[in-house]
A and B are shown apart, each in its own frame.
Chain A
């Protein structure tokens, strides 16, 4: 009589592995659902308005605040507007995403002391404040009175974000059109050009 072949037998390592995989998959799945709930709560918090004039505590909150501010601004700007953005934010945020197809230029009112405050939020700035300011300057984005004059001659609207430190004397050429917490939309008067 011919003996029947043995039933397939799984290697001990494979059995242990399958048990570990089941454990890992289930544990990770449970954590995943928890994390998704966490992300959801965080996203809702981030979409709430944050006070842009306060000291930066959470970089993500600043971004989310800008999102809401820009939605507010772009609804009030004609599509052929030429916009000058003046901001105290040292981060090069792609503001153009919100303002295109409008023409956009920008100036960052930044100094080394202010950058130091941002180190807690963006570790990249730690020890690189000078280099970052130089980069902004090389790209023509660092605020100077000359650049402000030149861009004002081109722009028909000015949007200020996170403070208006650099406006100074040219403020009288600007007419406030709308305000959304820390962000303001100005129309440039004829004599400002």
Chain B
């Protein structure tokens, strides 16, 4: 049986997430001046569940839970960063009590947040939610029977968490002195939350952190469902979502204790919150604190905020004040980890240059990278029985068919994001000091997991175009999303249907 302290720690994570999301909604109410959505846009499920036309609206109950689950760990990390900067020692009370006090102060706002908007009540969606619950339970049971005992889950995350717990601070100096581990290379979000669990746990600490990963998977599952039902009618949405829900590449990460699932789920949330600069900044900041790859996401999000085109075109017209608030949120969050590293004189082995490469060395390396990514798409130690590769091929075929049939504005945008993401990883791997073979062997599957949100979006947009039917074709352009803004099939801003 879990101890009361452990339950309190997990409850505090959820409470921190709920409070952060309450803050996002408050900022949205205060800062965003929304124009009414065009009549006829979106289905009934869209309007209720947070569709393109109402992307800035509150999510349904499942969507709210997913946001709480993902923002909670960020809240705990921010608490610990604040304690560290104030020179105070980490303890359960010092980390958790402020969140409970804040909940007391903002109880009305919190209660309003916890009353979600009416969600789409279609049978397929309910079935998928039940399936998500079942998969979460499966991951939880399997995870609790397999304590973290090896691999990156122990070397790079749990060990750092143990140092944070026993030192009572982000003791990077001690961590750097420990031999042969990569704890100092990784941003502290997951490790900080594990440290919180360790403080509440006893000798079973290697097991008690497992719910953190099962909960991240639950968030992933709920966000996949939300994204699918936002873009497609229920009779089609469940079919598109199903392979992504049962993706073993994601499911295995719910058990083994790596940080990649957190980043993937955050990227899914980013896709859903693109039209709200404040939410975008918060989620991008969480990405930067989760993995080094998240720093690139934060940088890209910052560029999007500085280039406000998508928001100016969107129904939710953002003011300069909103963008300023978002940037003020994003910059400290995204720079926290690089500043901490610089302050403590830490370095990351993954960011060191791998020396000069001749063309003769470069080509075999690139070939190895392509082969390893291809192999990991089909099967790997962590992702057996995956249909990731057929899914990617199917998506590519559908995108081609959709582009031929109805134009390719948004498709090109998301295809560009997917290609840029994979290209960035290939570039890093080519320069990796440990040699791309070693890194590919251990990381290719994980890196592919990060690109899953773009694959899902490409699939959904392609299916949306192809299943739009003759009626939409004759009545007007397909309502589509380029970075959250409604556009025509040619990528131009959409005019309201008269």
A22 within 8 A of partner (CB): yes
A113 within 8 A of partner (CB): no
Which chain A residues numbered 127 to 170 have a C-beta less than 8 Å away from chain B?
139, 141
Spot the interface stretch: B101-109, B258-266, B397-405: B397-405
B410 to chain A, nearest CB (A): 16
A54 within 8 A of partner (CB): no
B245 within 8 A of partner (CB): yes
Q: Which one of A5, A8, A13, A18 lies within 8 Å of B239 (CB-CB)?
A: A18
| Chain A residues whose C-beta falls within 8 Å of the C-beta of B475 in the assembled complex | 5
Interface string of B160-201 (1 = CB under 8 A from A): 001100110000000000111100000000000000000000
A135 to B335, CA, bound (A): 33
Highest count of chain B CB atoms <10 Å: which of A14, A63, A64, A139: A14
| Chain A residues whose C-beta falls within 8 Å of the C-beta of B390 in the assembled complex | 20, 24
A13 to B181, CA, bound (A): 49
- B150 adjacent to A32 (CB under 8 Å): no
* A18-B463, A31-B385 known; A9-B469 Cβ under 8 A: yes
B359 within 8 A of partner (CB): no
- B243 adjacent to A21 (CB under 8 Å): yes
A1 within 8 A of partner (CB): no
Q: Which one of B155, B248, B463 lies within 8 Å of A28 (CB-CB)?
A: B248
A191 within 8 A of partner (CB): no
| Chain B residues whose C-beta falls within 8 Å of the C-beta of A59 in the assembled complex | 150
* A28-B247, A92-B181, A94-B159 known; A17-B154 Cβ under 8 A: no
A11 to B464, CA, bound (A): 10
| Chain B residues whose C-beta falls within 8 Å of the C-beta of A141 in the assembled complex | 179-180
Interface string of A32-53 (1 = CB under 8 A from B): 1111100110011011000000
* A21-B239, A94-B159 known; A5-B248 Cβ under 8 A: no
B394 within 8 A of partner (CB): yes
- B154 adjacent to A11 (CB under 8 Å): no
Q: Which one of B150, B246, B472 lies within 8 Å of A8 (CB-CB)?
A: B472
| Chain A residues whose C-beta falls within 8 Å of the C-beta of B463 in the assembled complex | 14, 17-18
A121 within 8 A of partner (CB): no
- B385 adjacent to A101 (CB under 8 Å): no
- A60 adjacent to B242 (CB under 8 Å): no
| Chain A residues whose C-beta falls within 8 Å of the C-beta of B141 in the assembled complex | 40
A96 within 8 A of partner (CB): yes
- A36 adjacent to B142 (CB under 8 Å): yes
B412 within 8 A of partner (CB): no
A101 to B239, CA, bound (A): 51
Is the interface on chain B under 10, 10 to 19, 20 to 34, or 35 or more residues? Answer: 35 or more
- A35 adjacent to B401 (CB under 8 Å): no
| Chain A residues whose C-beta falls within 8 Å of the C-beta of B386 in the assembled complex | 28
| Chain B residues whose C-beta falls within 8 Å of the C-beta of A96 in the assembled complex | 159, 162-163, 178
* A17-B394, A29-B242, A32-B246 known; A63-B470 Cβ under 8 A: no
Highest count of chain B CB atoms <10 Å: which of A34, A39, A63, A92: A39
A67 to B398, CA, bound (A): 48
B356 within 8 A of partner (CB): no
| Chain B residues whose C-beta falls within 8 Å of the C-beta of A6 in the assembled complex | 469-471, 474
| Chain A residues whose C-beta falls within 8 Å of the C-beta of B352 in the assembled complex | none
| Chain B residues whose C-beta falls within 8 Å of the C-beta of A31 in the assembled complex | 248, 384-385
Question: How many A-B residue contacts, CB cutoff 8 Å?
Answer: 158
| Chain B residues whose C-beta falls within 8 Å of the C-beta of A46 in the assembled complex | 146, 149
Which chain A residues numbered 73 to 112 have a C-beta less than 8 Å away from chain B?
74-75, 92-94, 96-97, 100-101, 106
B361 within 8 A of partner (CB): no
- B243 adjacent to A94 (CB under 8 Å): no
- B385 adjacent to A24 (CB under 8 Å): no
Q: Which one of B135, B163, B467 lies within 8 Å of A11 (CB-CB)?
A: B467
B41 within 8 A of partner (CB): no
| Chain A residues whose C-beta falls within 8 Å of the C-beta of B145 in the assembled complex | 40, 43-44, 47
A85 to B239, CA, bound (A): 54
Which chain B residues numbered 128 to 154 have a C-beta less than 8 Å away from chain A?
131, 135, 138-139, 141-142, 145-147, 149-150, 154
A174 within 8 A of partner (CB): no
B91 to chain A, nearest CB (A): 14
| Chain A residues whose C-beta falls within 8 Å of the C-beta of B28 in the assembled complex | none
A141 to B177, CA, bound (A): 12
- A8 adjacent to B138 (CB under 8 Å): no
B206 within 8 A of partner (CB): yes
A26 within 8 A of partner (CB): yes
A67 to B158, CA, bound (A): 14
* A10-B469, A28-B387, A94-B159 known; A39-B142 Cβ under 8 A: yes
* A63-B150, A96-B162 known; A24-B391 Cβ under 8 A: yes
B35 to chain A, nearest CB (A): 28
A102 to B150, CA, bound (A): 20
A82 to B158, CA, bound (A): 21
B255 within 8 A of partner (CB): yes
* A33-B138, A97-B158 known; A10-B467 Cβ under 8 A: yes
| Chain A residues whose C-beta falls within 8 Å of the C-beta of B387 in the assembled complex | 24, 27-28
Question: Which residue on chain A has the smallest CB distance to residue B177?
Answer: A96
- A9 adjacent to B246 (CB under 8 Å): no
A66 within 8 A of partner (CB): yes
Q: Which one of A13, A29, A94, A124 lies within 8 Å of B398 (CB-CB)?
A: A13
A60 to B239, CA, bound (A): 37
- B242 adjacent to A25 (CB under 8 Å): yes
Q: Which one of A9, A17, A47 lies within 8 Å of B470 (CB-CB)?
A: A9
A96 to B163, CA, bound (A): 9
* A28-B385, A63-B150, A100-B162 known; A7-B471 Cβ under 8 A: yes
A114 within 8 A of partner (CB): no
- B384 adjacent to A35 (CB under 8 Å): yes
- Besides A9-B469, A29-B245, 7 more A-B contacts (Cβ < 8 Å) are A8-B469, A17-B397, A35-B385, A43-B145, A47-B146, A97-B154, A139-B179
A-B contact pairs, 17 of them (CB 8 A): A6-B469, A6-B470, A10-B469, A13-B401, A20-B390, A22-B239, A25-B239, A25-B245, A35-B251, A36-B251, A39-B142, A40-B145, A63-B149, A63-B150, A94-B155, A97-B154, A139-B179
Closest 4 CB pairs of A and B: A25-B242, A8-B469, A92-B180, A14-B466
